[in-house]
Amino acid sequence: MRKISILGIGETKMGRLAERSLRDLIQEAGNKAIVDAGIEKKEIDALYVGNFNSSYLCGQGHMGSLASEALELGNIPTVRTEGACASGSLAFRMAVMGIQSGTYDIALVGGVEKMTHRNTATVTTAIASAMDYELEAMQGFTFPASFAMIAHRYFHEYRDVKREMGMCAYNAHQNALLNPDAQMHKDVTLEKILAADLIASPLSLFDCSLVTDGAAFVVLAAADAARGLRAKHRTIELAGSGHAGDTLALASKPVITSFAATKAAAAQAYFQANLKPQDIDFAEVHDCFTITQIINTEDLGFFEKGKGGDAVAEGITALKGKKPINPSGGLKAKGHPIGATGLSQIYEVVTQLRGDAAKRQLAKADIGLAHNLGGTAGTCVINIFRGQ
């Protein structure tokens, strides 16, 4: 299979950017990635854009064409991907397959979302379209409620990890303080996190990720094609990639305290990379809710089933721990611009592997993993990157 390198990365600051247009966000992040890659626009063979729900939230569809026009990419082919919160890394995955097939040598991949200009109920409705509308949303389900139900079941099958969930949020906020692109720069205490109002029991405010506007882009290329280009950074190779699916509805899953899509995608990515969970130095995992982070770290094989909370309590997942999770601040504190989230995670992994993460730079960053989950774990994309 053709080897793939990540040539360039770019992102906007994440946050409440209601006054900025989709076009504007795409231009900033896309042009940063192209400049960072040190390539000419005419060298880009294809564009893939992840976007979840701008059709509903912004009245804007046909995102591939919009992004291509915004970035002045001429007549190259464009594709928009949608897989709920995994839309961004689905775009990445499609670009990888486009290059591996030999069809393209260099692809630009981006993700974008604008959400904060709409009120909370409208945003909740828009996000709820990523669950089964008829069977779940019409029974009053929201995404916080779906993951709250997962949390209650986890408490029942293993143990109550509400405090450890709070510690996940605490770590996320501490890491985000060191990330200039993060939406929240807030030094919150664990006591305040644990005392916050309930959103959907047992999840309270700080257990939930943010509503975010933002865009993130990466340039990837076949390693053989990249060799002729001037290397600006440490070479980052895609060591392994996995993509798996599962049922849309939560009630249809035989087990809800572990995500089958994560396990299947992880098995593919580890096999392709010829690596084991213990070989991964750090990971950006999909912490749409704090309970999700704990479950993800178990499903990825970092910790035993039911012991993810213990690892958080022992400080293993903190920035200076043995297995740092979400050094960027994660969806919880860097932000969750849905269609851009998967690329924003890859942006952080590449930044760490290059040694460019400044105050939040990890001591050891040679192999990093990005885990992106869509909906109630109906879609999962995992990518493992290695610095050469």
Partner 1 sequence: MKTAKIYTYSILFSSSEEFQDKVPYLSAILEMDDGQRFASLIEGYRPDMEIRIGQEVKGIEKEENGAPQFSF
Examine residue 139 and tell whether it contacts partner 1 (CB under 8 A): yes
Binder of partner 1 out of 5, 12, 87, 142 (CB under 8 A): 142
Please report where in the chains the tokens 């906007």 appear, as a residue.
Answer: 12
Q: If DSSP codes are grouped into helix, strand and coil, which group holds residue 381? A: strand
145 binds partner 1 per the rule CB under 8 A: yes
Query: In whole angstroms, how close is the CB of 171 to partner 1 at the nearest point?
Result: 24
Alpha helices for the chain (secondary structure H): 22-37, 54-57, 63-70, 87-100, 120-128, 143-157, 162-176, 190-195, 223-226, 260-273, 290-299, 308-313, 330-333, 338-354
Cβ closest to partner 1, residue 157 vs residue 224: 157
Contact between residue 257 and residue 250 where contact means Cβ atoms under 8 Å apart: no
Residues near partner 1 (CB under 8 A), total: 35
| Stretch 193-232: interaction string toward partner 1, x if CB under 8 A | ----xxxxxxx-----------------------------
* CB distance 253 to 246 below 8 Å: yes
Q: Which is nearer to partner 1, 156 or 186 (CB)?
A: 156
C-alpha span between 279 and 356 (Å, rounded): 21
> DSSP of 241-296, one letter per residue?
EEEEE--SSGGG-S-SSS-HHHHHHHHHHHHHHT--GGG--EEE---SBHHHHHHH
Span from 48-56, 120-128, 166-174, 365-373 in contact with partner 1 (CB under 8 A): 120-128
Q: Which is nearer to partner 1, 142 or 383 (CB)?
A: 142
Stretch that binds partner 1, among 21-29, 139-147, 301-309, 351-359 (CB under 8 A): 139-147
Site string for partner 1, 14-53 (x = CB under 8 A): ----------------------------------------
User: Looking at 145-153, 315-323, 327-335, 350-358, which segment touches partner 1 (CB under 8 A)?
Assistant: 145-153
255 binds partner 1 (CB under 8 A): no
Q: Which of 21, 31, 69, 135 binds partner 1 (CB under 8 A)?
A: 135
For partner 1, the binding residue among 250, 294, 312, 362 (CB under 8 A) is 250
Beta carbon of residue 153, minimum distance to partner 1 (angstroms, whole number): 4
Contacts of 24 (CB under 8 A, 6+ apart): none
Is 156 catalytic? The answer is no
Q: What are the b/e assignments for 59-89, b being 16+ CB within 10 Å? A: ebeebbebbbebbebeebebbbbbbbbbbbb
Is residue 122 close enough to count as binding partner 1 by CB under 8 A?
A: yes
Catalytic one among 58, 85, 168, 208?
Answer: 85
Cβ-based neighbours of 135, under 8 Å, separated by 6 or more: 249, 251
Supply 25's token pair: 């966000």
Amino acid of residue 267: A
Annotated catalytic, 85?
A: yes
Q: Which of 173, 233, 286, 336 is catalytic?
A: 336
Among residues 10, 88, 110, 144, the one that binds partner 1 under rule CB under 8 A: 144
If binding is defined by CB under 8 A, does position 360 make contact with partner 1?
Answer: no
Q: Can you tell me which of 196, 249, 260, 316 binds partner 1, judged by CB under 8 A?
A: 249
Name the segment binding partner 1 (CB under 8 A); options: 24-32, 86-94, 123-131, 178-186.
123-131
Question: How far is 70 from 28, CA to CA, in rounded Å?
Answer: 10
- The residue assigned the tokens 């205490």 is 189
Q: Does 125 bind partner 1 (CB under 8 A)?
A: yes
d(CA 15, CA 116): 8
* Nearest-angstrom CA–CA distance, 304 and 157: 14
Can you tell me which of 7, 58, 71, 137 binds partner 1, judged by CB under 8 A? 137
The helix (run of H) or strand (run of E) holding residue 214 is: strand 214-222
Peptide bond into 144 cis (omega under 30): no
Beta bridge partners of 58: none
Residues with catalytic roles: 85, 336
Question: Would you tell me which residues interact with partner 1 (CB under 8 A)?
Answer: 120-122, 124-125, 128, 132, 135-142, 144-145, 148-150, 152-153, 156, 197-203, 249-252, 256
